[in-house]
């Protein structure tokens, strides 16, 4: 049922009143529109002194604006860019920023205030009623446009010569494809890139803070350490991309506290290494509570239990943090025993 089908009488009746017409509140309709109330004069309209005062106020505002602009330029020239001042209650702030902001603000605000005050007090405030006209065209215009269109369509013979029409639509549909194709080189295909990190068997766990490889004795129970794979340096060209996947969080638990069998197997003397990248949308999760062994993501509050295979115990993450299997090499340094067995970071369609 189209909406035209609602019978007219269901719609509320429109109030008929001519613009500005004054209906008398007669016995017939006490709610009738009495029309625009008569204009009342402002003080400025009747008292020339008040008008003069308004004029002076407006002029004063414009003058203050000019002075503020001069002050702005003076501040710009005079105040060094690194000068700090203490201003209560703002604190220790840049003198230049404050001076420029306030003078510019004042200069602009006073122009506005002057103009508005001028409009409010000195320009005519007689309310005027303007008629509205329906937006819809009159039936004659409507008929003319439709006829013109039909005439034009007929003359183009678009409907009759189907071959032209179809090939034209075909061409127009195909041509944007070149644009789409051009976008192909925006980036490489994902392939297996999300599945691999720099970690592999034998890579030492290097302490993020000291840039030294970690020994098991460095990692105390209750401590928190962040590690990167050996050989990855901050200056490296692909450091950001690699650390985004390889960042590691290392904690030491009492082996007896570890509830998950695989976690225990992949640990070394209670030292466990987990991906620092949240499996939700990839924030570096690392709010480790050493008493509860919970680790919280600061972005969306996914909470993982590091004593139980880093399973999700709260929040929007869908799966546990990937664990890195670690051991100790001949020289007594902690090393990876392979790459992560599953993709780190957020889940994606091909993850499986």
Q: Does 339 bind another protein (CB under 8 A)?
A: no
Q: Which is nearer to another protein, 147 or 221 (CB)?
A: 221
Q: Does 338 bind another protein (CB under 8 A)?
A: no
Which among 149-157, 205-213, 258-266, 326-334 is the span making contact with another protein, rule CB under 8 A? 205-213
Q: Which is nearer to another protein, 116 or 157 (CB)?
A: 116
By three-state DSSP, how is residue 257 classified?
Answer: helix
Query: Interface residues for another protein in 136-195 (CB under 8 A)?
Result: 183, 186-190, 193-194
Q: What are phi and psi of 311, to 5 degrees?
A: -75, 155
Which among 147-155, 167-175, 300-308, 333-341 is the span making contact with another protein, rule CB under 8 A? 300-308
Q: Does 214 bind another protein (CB under 8 A)?
A: yes
Q: Does 321 bind another protein (CB under 8 A)?
A: no
Contacts of 113 (CB under 8 A, 6+ apart): 61
Q: What are phi and psi of 28, to 5 degrees?
A: -70, -50
Q: Give the whole-angstrom CA distance, residue 14 versus residue 249.
A: 71
Q: Does 66 bind another protein (CB under 8 A)?
A: no
Neighbours of 176 (CB within 10 A): 9
Task: Give the containing element (helix H, strand E) for 248.
Answer: strand 248-252
Query: Interface residues for another protein in 7-46 (CB under 8 A)?
Result: 10-15, 17, 19-20, 25, 27-37, 40-46
Starting at the edge strand that comes first in sequence, how are the strands of the sheet with 287-289 ordered? 287-289, 294-296, 303-305, 311-314
Q: Give the whole-angstrom CA distance, residue 328 versus residue 286.
A: 24
By three-state DSSP, how is residue 263 classified?
Answer: helix
Q: Does 292 bind another protein (CB under 8 A)?
A: yes
Q: Which is nearer to another protein, 163 or 183 (CB)?
A: 183
Q: Does 232 bind another protein (CB under 8 A)?
A: no
Give the shortest CB-270-to-another protein separation in angstroms.
Answer: 14
Nearest to 251 by CA among 227, 275, 229, 273: 273
Q: Give the whole-angstrom CA distance, residue 288 versus residue 309.
A: 14
Task: Give the containing element (helix H, strand E) for 94.
Answer: strand 91-94
Say how many residues touch another protein, by CB under 8 A: 149
Query: Interface residues for another protein in 246-265 (CB under 8 A)?
Result: 247, 251
Which among 1-9, 159-167, 170-178, 264-272 is the span making contact with another protein, rule CB under 8 A? 1-9
Query: Interface residues for another protein in 85-114 (CB under 8 A)?
Result: 89-94, 96-102, 104-114
Q: Does 268 bind another protein (CB under 8 A)?
A: no
């Amino acid at each position: 049922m189209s909406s035209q089908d609602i019978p007219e009488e269901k719609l509320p009746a429109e109030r008929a009143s001519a613009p500005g017409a004054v209906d008398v509140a007669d016995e017939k309709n006490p709610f009738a529109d009495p029309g625009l109330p008569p204009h009342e004069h402002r003080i400025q309209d009747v008292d020339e002194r008040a008008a003069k005062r308004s004029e002076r106020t407006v002029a004063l505002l414009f003058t203050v604006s000019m002075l503020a602009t001069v002050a702005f330029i003076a501040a710009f020239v005079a105040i060094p860019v690194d000068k700090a001042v203490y201003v209560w209650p703002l604190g220790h702030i840049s003198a230049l920023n404050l001076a420029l902001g306030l003078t510019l603000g004042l200069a602009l605000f006073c122009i506005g205030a002057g103009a508005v005050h001028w409009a409010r007090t000195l320009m005519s405030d007689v309310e005027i009623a303007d008629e509205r006209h329906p937006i819809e065209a009159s039936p004659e215009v409507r008929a003319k446009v439709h006829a013109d269109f039909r005439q034009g369509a007929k003359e183009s013979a678009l409907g009759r010569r189907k071959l032209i029409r179809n090939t034209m639509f075909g061409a127009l549909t195909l041509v944007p494809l070149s644009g789409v194709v051009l976008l192909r080189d925006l980036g490489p295909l994902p392939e297996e890139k999300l599945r691999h990190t720099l970690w592999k068997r034998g890579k030492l766990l290097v302490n993020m803070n000291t840039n030294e490889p970690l020994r098991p004795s460095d990692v105390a129970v209750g401590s928190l350490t962040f590690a990167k794979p050996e050989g990855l340096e901050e200056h490296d060209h692909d450091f950001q991309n690699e650390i985004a996947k390889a960042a590691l969080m290392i904690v030491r638990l009492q082996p007896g506290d570890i509830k998950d069998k695989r976690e225990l197997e992949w640990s070394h003397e209670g030292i466990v290494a987990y991906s620092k990248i949240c499996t939700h949308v990839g924030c570096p999760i690392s709010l480790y509570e050493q008493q509860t062994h919970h680790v919280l993501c600061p972005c969306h509050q996914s909470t993982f239990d590091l004593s139980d295979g880093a399973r999700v115990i709260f929040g929007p993450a869908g799966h546990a943090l990937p664990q890195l299997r670690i051991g100790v090499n001949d020289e007594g340094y902690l090393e990876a025993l392979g790459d992560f067995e599953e993709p780190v970071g957020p889940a994606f369609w091909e993850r499986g």
